[in-house]
Amino acid sequence: MGKVRSVEYDAGIKTKYIQESDGKLTINNQQDVNPLLKRNKELYNHDKGWVSSQKEMKRVASIPPLVLQVWANEYNGSRNWFALPKEIQRKIMRIKLNSSEFRYFRTAEGSL
């Protein structure tokens, strides 16, 4: 394990910059998603995901930013989710959120 050079906190994400003994820099990101998952469960069991009583818009998921980075990295090796074309973002969301593996990010029943 190398020497921690810097630690930053931004939007609930803790980033450590670690200088390895071979000179390489390792960036380690951590995020506590438990509060978000608890809130998602509450929302899932409340009003079937509708944002308002007029049922104009439905909330279907809440996903931690770090998870979006991981999904972008899986797709194209870049961690920048927002650089992905919208149609690719939708495709990834549909695959991931319709999977039982990521059901705890869902805030309403149904499929995308």
Q: pLDDT band for position 97 (50/70/90)?
A: very high
Q: What is the pLDDT of residues 39-83, one digit of tens each?
A: 999 999 887 777 777 777 888 999 998 999 999 999 988 889 999
> Model pTM?
0.76
Listing DSSP states for 11-63 in one string gives: TTEEEEEEE-TTS-EEEEEEE--HHHHHHHHHHHTSGGGBSSTT---B--B--
Q: pLDDT band for position 91 (50/70/90)?
A: very high
